[in-house]
Structure 1
Amino acid sequence: MSTQGRWIVITGGPYSGKTSLLERLAARGFRTLPEAAIRVIDALNAELGVEGQRAWRLAHAVEFQDRVAREQEAQERVVALGAGEVLFADRGLPDSIGYCRYKGVEPPRWLLEATRPKRYTAVLLLDTLSTFDRRLSSGRTSTYEDSLRIRDHLRATYEELGYPVLSVPELPIGERDSFALRLLGLTGAR
């Protein structure tokens, strides 16, 4: 992982519009990194089915976050950013710590150690959308209230690690990407 450029994390509770914002930023020409948890959930759905995956995640919260964090670490390891380049990531490694804390379980030790060196330039924390959709068919398990609590744990985790956390309110998607770029002092595409 090379961090010569600007590495921006987009985070928030479930159904906060992270993926939609990432897609808009990619369309503007910015480099992006997809959410590791979705890849892990998709693999579990293929292995166990949606209901089996949900049950497994509820029974194995630490192991699930360990898998997500290892996938995130693997994705980040292969990214090289040149000077002046900008990359937007759908979540960062500290998200797994925030999720563990939300679940009331101790994060894996390796993860706590891996997040100590700062690796991100800034964190955009998105508000949960008022049109919350549980998307149960995809294997998601969170409610609107869960999403708000998760968001709060994510904020606390990133702040504890010394990252600047910038809040992005609910806005029409056509305005949200421009708002986020203004917060970061960026314009247009890269």
Structure 2
Amino acid sequence: MEETNWIVITGPPCSGKSKVLERLSFLGYKVYPEVSRILIDNHTSNNINIEEYLKNKKDFEQDILSLKLQLEKRTNKNDIYFFDRGMIDSFAFIKFYNVELDDFDNYLNYRYKKVFFLEPVPYEKDKNRFENYEQSKQLANELQSAYKKYKYSLVNVPLMPIDKRVELIIKNI
């Protein structure tokens, strides 16, 4: 795996990742949004039924992996970029949804500089969030296990105001 200066912001659904990344972007940092949200928004804008699309979790996860791979290949590994979820998040979701994918390690071409794990905020459902509160807690465990499996040390970001979370992240880059 090639070393990078990329930073992953991860955590279970409803942990404030998107809000933290919006703030980082506002401060001038290079930020990539969550790939699954991009896919869902694209399908919605093309009048594709999301529930039908998401029935086949394997295809959905493969689409996410393919798009993440494209994104990583075109990103300068020497620049600091913040990613809303990394490639390893996909491993956790694949495991959570019991999707069989034999070649996952083939997608791991780059190593992230840092991974920040955001503790969840009070749970709210939105159009791109399909897991319930209990599933969100299970996914938190899967995410932590997945990153540990690939020898990452997670920097824990507790629940606090967005500006304090961002301050903690910037201080620990």
The residue type paired with residue 79 of structure 1 is: T
Alignment of 1:93-172 (within 5 A): 93-106=87-100, 108-115=101-108, 117-130=109-122, 132-135=123-126, 138-172=127-161
Alignment of 1:39-118 (within 5 A): 39-47=38-46, 49=48, 52-57=49-54, 59-82=55-78, 85-106=79-100, 108-115=101-108, 117-118=109-110
Alignment of 1:28-47 (within 5 A): 28-47=27-46
How many aligned positions are there?
172
Q: Distance in 2 between matches of 1:160 and 1:81?
A: 22
Q: CA RMSD in A?
A: 1.9
The residue type paired with residue 80 of structure 1 is: N
Q: Distance in 1 between matches of 2:56 and 2:51?
A: 10
Moved runs in structure 1, 4+ residues, more than 4 A? none
Contact 1:158 1:165 in 2 (8 A): yes
The residue type paired with residue 96 of structure 1 is: S
Determine helix, strand or coil for the equivalent of 2:6: strand
Q: Once the two structures are superposed, what CA deviation does each residue of 1:29-87 show, in whole Å capped at 9, x if it has no partner?
A: 211112111111112323455xx312431x211111110111111111111143xx421
Distance 1:112 1:166, change over 3 A: same
Q: Distance in 1 between matches of 2:112 and 2:9?
A: 11
Structure 1, gaps ≥5 residues long: none
The residue type paired with residue 120 of structure 1 is: Y
The residue type paired with residue 77 of structure 1 is: K
Q: Identical aligned pairs, as a percentage? A: 26
Contact 1:61 1:103 in 2 (8 A): yes
Distance 1:89 1:34, change over 3 A: same
The residue type paired with residue 70 of structure 1 is: S
Select the structure with the greater relative contact order (CA < 8 A; seq sep ≥ 6). Answer: 2
Determine helix, strand or coil for the equivalent of 1:167: strand
Q: Distance in 1 between matches of 2:6 and 2:128?
A: 29
Structure 2, gaps ≥5 residues long: none
TM-score normalized with structure 1 length: 0.82
The residue type paired with residue 71 of structure 1 is: L
Distance 1:18 1:139, change over 3 A: closer
